[in-house]
Structure 1
Amino acid sequence: MTVKKKMACGFISALLVFMIGCSGSTPGSSDAKPAEDNKPSAPEALGPVSLTLFKEDTGVSAETVEQLIRKKFPQIDLLVIKSAKGTMIEDVVSGGVVPDIVSHSLGGLWKLRDLQLLSDLTPLIQTHKFDLSRFADGVVDVVKSYSDNGQQFLVMPFELNNNALFYNKDIFDRVGVDYPKDGMTWEQLYDLTKRLVRTDGNVQINGFHYNFLNVIYKNQLALPFVDPKTNKAAVNGEQWANWVKVMTAFYTIPGNQPPVDEKTAFMKNQTLAMRTGPNYMTELAASGMNWDVVSFPHFAGKEGTGSQMNAPFYTIPPAGKNKDAAFQVISYLMSDEVAIELARQGRIPILKSEAVRKEFGKGIAGLESKNISAFFKDTIAKPAPQTKYDGAAKSTFNSVLITLLGGQKDINTGLREMEEQINKQIEQEQRR
């Protein structure tokens, strides 16, 4: 075991809750070929090296990522640190360990910036000739928007979480209403929802519900929560008012009150006709439920525009000691070979390759007749301006919006309250 690995494992043992992958092939195995001096090596020629990977519990599992790396690079002495209580990325850094690769959710972007774990990957992209044109349309521009100058490539997103509209075909058949279609507007969906809501025997059938996190935080209109120029709330304006009017209208329909558990209502109880939010397609395929899916609804005048990008990512900390090797590993994890394997498991590929996309869901029994092309109908919405105060602002927006759904106050009053509360939170954070 290398010195670096001993230090890392010692830290993990001290915290008692680290979940690690300390085993691996011997770094000095005879079949490993050393890289040429002063010349970046191709993945096939990567020599013996020790790498530490921090993996948040998001996207592809840590076990899957570890297996992929070990199979392709048996010469790498790999340590995997999985995020858990006591082993969050801030715990790892405070313990003196700087991972060579960090895999994290997009929601943690500002935290990684504060921890100085983001670096511009552009030099490595150029050196290793990584082709950014392989990404789906809009991805590169979104990633560059995360940097202060709009030019740096700080993270390597590795899969998409595209929204779509799932529906229960049995409910539609029972009430005699036509199925939803690809390309619907929110207004058309509202009209369809009104036709579905009813009492069926003693059971209340709800027409449509959406997951707040997916629909609000990555809204299709790219509306910001905080103005990056003033660091003041940006929610009390005409555009947000129009968005709230459209998206709260569903809950003004008598009988379409939000369920306590949207997933249970749709998949287990089957009292919800349509929903959009997290993609649990694998569970649906195994459930025996009679369902299908169409593309995510859009706002009038914004045809073909999906949600903003919500993608977990890889990055390389500036203090990493093995950046070339780390980037070669990331490059492999972004290859068509890996993308096809993960697409077959139901992971939405971030690559635009038709060869990759046509494999989407093929490894999941029961999807053969489903309209899974719906996940690729829309383009990624342009990114909203980002600030370090967005997390608190989104939480406040969410809590006040709930009161609007229940009709406890009008939209203008709600937006004013959001604005006031967000500004107070920002002031509190600035005083810390």
Structure 2
Amino acid sequence: MKNWFKKAASVVLVTTILAGCSLGGKEEISNTPQALKVMYYDEGSFFQEYGMLFSTLYPNIDISVVSTQSIYRNNTGENGEEVDYEKAKQDLIDKEKPDIVMIEMNEYEKMAQEGKFIDLESYIAKDKFDTAGLVPGMVDYMKQLGGGQLYGLPSGFNSQVLFYNKTLFDKFNIPYPTDSMTWSEVIQLARQFPTDGTKEDRIYGLKAGYSGSLSELAQMMANSEGLSYVNPATKTMTINSAGWKNAVQTAYDAIKSETLYFDEQNNMGWSGDYNDYLLRNPFTSNRVAMTIDGSYYIRQMKEAAEYYSKEEGKIVKDWDIVTIPVSPQMPDQSTSTGYNNIFAITKESTNADAAWKFIAYISSEEHARVKSKLTYNNGFSIHTKYIKDEEGHNYEAFYKLKPAKPTIDYNEMNKLPKQFGMMYSYMEEEFKAVQDGNKSVEEALAALHTKGEELLAQESMTDEELNKLWEERNADQVKQMQEAAGETVIVE
């Protein structure tokens, strides 16, 4: 397959690259055959995303791909035990000894600090690799994760932003949102829009979440504040705090204001075509003043505008973006921003110079320029020059915030008793009691703290025991709903 993709590179992309790619004498293409082994998801996607371009420019560097797909094919091991994916990936690295590994942010931090990679800064200095045009703060953040050294470079990033409909803000004489607003400030803006009219036709201030449940919205706000409900490393509950109280109260007040639109409200049966589907988004159809979404949504708005171009006022036209709501304690960070596909050179690499040549190319402005013409970009480019909009929208909002470190270490979470995973269900239950007016926020958080400590103190259940516990809990919930509805409860 590798050879097929390399041939495809010559046929399909050589014209694009030769027409638009000038190395300007900065690179010397060696005639000495070299070999690189790269660990990636799978061979096909690697060559489509990176290898085809690189192999066309560097035909004497032969790349082979170590696929990680086999690690994730099964949820259990040979003896029925749960798969330790971290160990499985490390075993694959030890066996195959790749020169380059593609990893995500949580893996990068751990492996970098364990000394698994080669520091890239000497290569950057030697080649005078220009980092000035990269996403602001990215290199510093990668150094922070690496304990002070730069061990890898991302090939892209993804983020969410707050879209707003300028026409609706102007119509009701409400000031536009700005970068780095908090959730409370965004909610206050949303509450300035009128709440009269039917659910199908009225204007909403903000589209947020799916179900309209307090649990969903409170957890979303708490996550943006960098709050976790548990410290898995110390096995202690952290949910009964002032930060959580503020997040739950803010979410509660927002829901009660009736200014929020939830996706569940658009649950009517749909059998139309793709254009009808695009119109179902209430921001697209001028019914919501603000919404949180990613860059792909811009394409959807443009597609809708093209299809409904003859119907004036049907599709949002005058819009812009600002950063997603932030925490006052972390005004320059966002949990919705993440650098992806980080490439690093392993300590055991026998061809580190060629490995750096690969990383330098896919991190270069030249590569970003060529990829900007193709349709399969992996998120945004790390070069801000190619994050642009001809219509003048505030695209800086996509990269203005740096990633916030994850609030929970999921490797540590996996070490907790299996039944602790039921906390999500208990949170739904307790926060619903608040939403229904049957409990105060303080009472719900105290109850969750107690229940969490109880689960943390237990030995981990077997799968059979856990399934039985879930069945009993589901039966209790059905009984409670029947009693609340005045139905006859049948006891089996």
TM over 0.5: yes
Instruction: Describe how 1:130-145 pairs up with structure 2 within 5 A.
Output: 134=132, 136-145=135-144
Provide the C-alpha distance between the structure 2 equivalents of 1:236 and 1:52, rounded to a whole number of angstroms.
49
Task: Confirm or deny that 1:298 pairs with 2:326.
Answer: yes
Task: Confirm or deny that 1:126 pairs with 2:122.
Answer: yes
Paired residue for 1:260, among 258, 264, 275?
264
Paired residue for 2:255, among 234, 251, 254?
251
Give the aligned partner of residue 405 of structure 2: 383
**Pairwise CA distance, 1:407:** 1.5
Task: Confirm or deny that 1:189 pairs with 2:186.
Answer: yes
Provide the C-alpha distance between the structure 2 equivalents of 1:91 and 1:120, rounded to a whole number of angstroms.
15
Paired residue for 1:67, among 52, 58, 70?
52
Provide the C-alpha distance between the structure 2 equivalents of 1:158 and 1:261, rounded to a whole number of angstroms.
38
TM-score, normalised with respect to structure 1? 0.66
Paired residue for 1:329, among 348, 353, 358?
358
**Pairwise CA distance, 1:165:** 0.6
Task: Confirm or deny that 1:77 pairs with 2:62.
Answer: yes
Instruction: Describe how 1:286-365 pairs up with structure 2 within 5 A.
Output: 286-288=303-305, 289-290=315-316, 291-300=319-328, 303-307=331-335, 309-312=337-340, 313-318=342-347, 320-342=349-371, 347-350=379-382, 356-362=383-389
Give the aligned partner of residue 242 of structure 1: 246
2:207–2:291: 8 Å Cα contact kept in structure 1?
yes
Identity of aligned residues (%): 19
1:161–1:310: 8 Å Cα contact kept in structure 2?
yes
Give the aligned partner of residue 232 of structure 1: 236
Aligned to 1:284, what secondary structure does the other structure show?
helix
**Pairwise CA distance, 1:193:** 1.0
Give the aligned partner of residue 312 of structure 2: none
Q: 1:287 to 1:50 in 2, by over 3 A?
A: farther
Give the aligned partner of residue 203 of structure 1: 201
Task: Confirm or deny that 1:163 pairs with 2:160.
Answer: yes
Provide the C-alpha distance between the structure 2 equivalents of 1:158 and 1:164, rounded to a whole number of angstroms.
20
Q: 1:227 to 1:335 in 2, by over 3 A?
A: same
Give the aligned partner of residue 38 of structure 1: none
1:160–1:310: 8 Å Cα contact kept in structure 2?
yes
Q: 1:218 to 1:235 in 2, by over 3 A?
A: closer
Q: 1:120 to 1:185 in 2, by over 3 A?
A: same
Unaligned runs of 5+ in 2: 8-25, 74-84, 210-215, 267-277, 306-314, 464-492
**Pairwise CA distance, 1:255:** 5.3
Amino acid at match of 1:203: D
Aligned to 1:293, what secondary structure does the other structure show?
strand
Q: 1:87 to 1:225 in 2, by over 3 A?
A: same
Give the aligned partner of residue 275 of structure 1: 291
Provide the C-alpha distance between the structure 1 equivalents of 2:423 and 2:176, rounded to a whole number of angstroms.
32
Provide the C-alpha distance between the structure 2 equivalents of 1:219 and 1:326, rounded to a whole number of angstroms.
37
Provide the C-alpha distance between the structure 2 equivalents of 1:273 and 1:154, rounded to a whole number of angstroms.
42
Unaligned runs of 5+ in 1: 1-19, 27-40, 351-355
More helix by share: 2
Give the aligned partner of residue 29 of structure 1: none
Aligned to 1:260, what secondary structure does the other structure show?
helix
Provide the C-alpha distance between the structure 2 equivalents of 1:167 and 1:321, rounded to a whole number of angstroms.
51
Give the aligned partner of residue 102 of structure 2: 103
Which digits, 9 at most, give the CA deviation of each residue in 1:277-335, with x for residues without a partner?
43323333333242321233334576555447511122344555543322321121111
Q: 1:294 to 1:422 in 2, by over 3 A?
A: farther
2:252–2:435: 8 Å Cα contact kept in structure 1?
no
Aligned to 2:289, what secondary structure does the other structure show?
strand
Give the aligned partner of residue 4 of structure 1: none
Amino acid at match of 2:291: R
Amino acid at match of 1:165: L
Deviates more, 1:379-388 or 1:392-401: 392-401
Aligned to 1:167, what secondary structure does the other structure show?
strand
Give the aligned partner of residue 368 of structure 1: 391
Aligned to 2:396, what secondary structure does the other structure show?
helix
**Pairwise CA distance, 1:22:** 4.3
Q: 1:188 to 1:422 in 2, by over 3 A?
A: same
Number of residue pairs the alignment of both structures matches: 381
Which digits, 9 at most, give the CA deviation of each residue in 1:42-67, with x for residues without a partner?
7743842333434449xx98623233
Q: 1:78 to 1:401 in 2, by over 3 A?
A: farther
Q: 1:235 to 1:50 in 2, by over 3 A?
A: farther
1:118–1:155: 8 Å Cα contact kept in structure 2?
no
Which digits, 9 at most, give the CA deviation of each residue in 1:201-220, with x for residues without a partner?
5435432234679x959955
TM-score, normalised with respect to structure 2? 0.59
1:251–1:257: 8 Å Cα contact kept in structure 2?
no
1:118–1:315: 8 Å Cα contact kept in structure 2?
no
Task: Confirm or deny that 1:407 pairs with 2:435.
Answer: yes
**Pairwise CA distance, 1:126:** 1.9
Provide the C-alpha distance between the structure 2 equivalents of 1:43 and 1:217, rounded to a whole number of angstroms.
51
